[in-house]
Amino acid sequence: MNKLESLFLAINRWALILMLAAMSCIIMANVALRHLTGDSIIWAEEVARHLMVWLTFIGAGLVLRHGGHVAIDNLHSVLPLAAARALRAGIVLAMLLFFVVMIWQGIVYMQAMSFQTTPATGIPFIYIYVGMPIGFVLMGIHLLLISRDYILHMRFRPSQDIEDADSAADHG
């Protein structure tokens, strides 16, 4: 399972890197053209905005995995061990339920917007909004992969890319 999880993480990270690189190049080219020629790329802002939406949803699972989302954990530390574990298990179940609801609502919204197209590029909005259900599926997978350590030990997965002082992984 460890190799499969490593492959999953690598694909998730590379998808983010490629989207961020594409967004940065588009914005930089647009700014350079605007200053050098007075004209800009008509579709640049729209595509960059849509890449930002995808980055947000696709990256949220990695942030969750390393404990980077906002959390209030005072109650965990004052409860007895068994009660704290039960609370964390309840939190994991509530989050999974929320993810399922958001996947469903994302699909409903995606289908409702499938007949509209973006103004500059003419891309159907279904391709933009499919990032939401995909992102929540990824968040669910990341949560399931860390849930055992989170419930039993209140530990997140450490990351080689994040300094220990900046990560919640070692604050549990």
Which pLDDT tens digits describe the chain residue by residue (172 residues)? 689 999 999 999 999 999 999 999 999 999 999 999 999 999 999 999 999 999 999 999 999 998 888 887 888 889 999 999 999 999 999 999 999 999 999 999 999 998 999 999 999 999 999 999 999 999 999 999 999 999 998 888 776 665 544 545 445 4
For residues 135 and 61, the answer to whether their CB atoms sit within 8 Å is: yes
| Number of domains the chain is built from | 1
pLDDT at 162: 55
Q: Quick one: pLDDT at residue 154?
A: 87
What is the structure's pLDDT at 166? 54
In this prediction, residue 92 carries a pLDDT of 96
- pLDDT on residue 50: 96
β-partners of residue 117 are 124
Per-residue confidence (pLDDT) for residue 42, from 0 to 100: 95
Boundaries of domain holding 80: 2-170
